[in-house]
Structure 1
Amino acid sequence: MPTPASLDLTRRVAAPRSSRRSTLVVAVLLIIAMSLALTANGRAASSYRVSVPVQLKPYDPDRWALLTANDYATARAIDPSLPDPFALPSDPVVDPDQIRQEAFVGPAAKPYRFVGASAQDRSRALYCLTAAIYYEAASESDDGQRGVAQVVLNRVRHPSFPGSVCGVVFQGSDRTTGCQFSFACDGSMARRPAAAAWARAARVAGTALAGKVDPAVGLATHYHTQAIWPRWGKSLVMTNVVGAHIFHRWRGRWGELAAFSQPYSGIEPTPGPYRPVALQLAGKSAVPAAVDSVPFSAVASPSVATAPETALASRRAAAAPAAAPEPEYRDPALAKSGQIKDKFSTSGEWIAR
């Protein structure tokens, strides 16, 4: 029989074997369970498998040589399709004053040539624009006159105004109130203009009709003198101050460049004003004159009107009914109609300090 000591030794050795056996059994069972779970998941997900062979390069020698080239000649030798950086145009020199002016004034109008449908339409457009420049800015500098011309042509291109030069200049002259340009309703055109000043205004008008854009006023469609501030001034955006006039444009999309998309009609109506001088000065309304009943060159300078146009005006005048004699005015202010007002005689000059 074994002694108590031997029994203790047997128990110490047998216990570790039983424990190892139990651990092995548990590990085998866990492996089987995991295999079954993975197999079930794989069958549930998909039974379709694809193997794609992939060949990996540690690097592309040619591309790496191109990236590590020390100069352009070496890189061009590796890849002849590389563009030549020295052939690209350099950035143009930008005028800082021009950038500041564009930021203050806004975008300029697009160049556009106002070509009439006929020689008569072209002559009428030149006359109407010249009249607007002369009676609105005869004492202004060339910059001031160009600003007035740009406003007229901006209106021609805007859908909220007539699509012709004469239609814009004499808009509302058939009513007692509502003239877009005051000279068309206050009797300023009763006197024949000065030839030299008219010729200067005609040169500015001709240049503007030919497509010359004045960026100093941008997309302005309104202006007024510095001596007044009309009620509508707050509803518009001021673009610039040129000479004696303050220029404004529409707010919002109506004043953006895309809004000036109205095509020029090319058909110019008979130049106005469309009320007799006596009724203009008296402030009374009258039925607009019949088409072509007003001689075209009635107040045009001989240096502007051409011989065919003068002959055409003569035929129209002969066919038209006799005009009422020009009234005589006792008021000295009315007698000076057509001249520059005294308070605006020095407009456009530097203010002495």
Structure 2
Amino acid sequence: MTARERILTAIFMISLILIPATLPQSSVDAQQFNPSDPRLQSVERAEENFAGSAFYFIDPNYAIPQNYGDIGSDLLAEPGEEAIDGLSRLTQNDRDQTSPAHLIRPMAFRGSAIDNSRALHCLTQAIYYEAGMEPDAGQRGVAQVILNRVRHPSYPSTVCGVIYQGSERKTGCQFSYTCDGSLRRKPARFHWDRSRKVAAEALAGTSYTTVGTATHYHATYVYPYWAPSLRFLGTVGAHRFYSWKGKAGKASAFSQKYRGREPLAAPKPRNYAATAKNGGTSSLDPIALEKAYETARRKAEAEATKSEKKAALQADNARRHDRPAPALDVNAPRSYQAPAYSNEAQAKGGDKAYAGQNLPNVSQIKPEFRNSGTWKKKPGG
């Protein structure tokens, strides 16, 4: 190095030492800011922010649905009800109960280790591809719709079954990402982890009551043909949520039990036999599903009423003729089956020896009152 270069190097080294010493000391305390502090606004929380999140924070009430005048459709008269001006005659108290009728009781979805793993993967995948860029509220709404379907008899009783229903078709599947090639995209780790957190909470029993009994939604930039026929609940994030208008959309209809048995977490092959039973074309239309449910419900109610009347008549007839009354439970066994007695019990007479009239008298009723309520002499005897 030349003398000039050595002088410049020395000056540079001295500057590195002296310049920081001449600057004022910063008083910034890193502990003063916690990105997950609940006192912060949503826009300030790390878990509520993502690419494009500023769009959703323009409206501070983005997660509060607003019903746009669809109240009267819930009050349409059922068959047999007296109607006035096209609406059933309901009291104000009945109208006040409309909202609770659409709140589902929280339920945890638990099965075997394989079931839990598949359900978590499928639900995480659905949240990611359907609402991965939305705030937590939008993701919870999507998760709630999927789990609502699992609990409704009109849909498969598994998480993966609901999500991949109709995936064997090129278009028209229940969730578009299962049949449009979106699964070829590798998920981004950050957004996948956000979706997995929401999915785990939903499967553990955290219910998102904001969307209630919603079973359908669509993006705000489209308007499907079935939207006017369903009960609009409101907009959360980038989706509009709907439930069925009739009894199919009330909480009492979500009676299907979750028993695990999750299928593979993958789309069905194109040659899959799509029948009505396993999610064929005829069972995917929202309007057709509601009609099928209402038809089946009315048929079941009619059969139950007929069976109850028949059982009641048989019991009354038996009492009139002093015969044992048949069981009113329509699910009771039709014939009695004797238990498997031991060899010693069989030697004593088996089932006959243990019949009710042969049991030891352990009643504390006095002998003179034990025949109270029976015929002294049967008519015609």
TM superposition score normalised by structure 2? 0.45
TM superposition score normalised by structure 1? 0.49
Structure of greater relative contact order (alpha carbons < 8 Å, 6+ residues apart): 1
Q: Could you say which structure has the larger radius of gyration?
A: 1
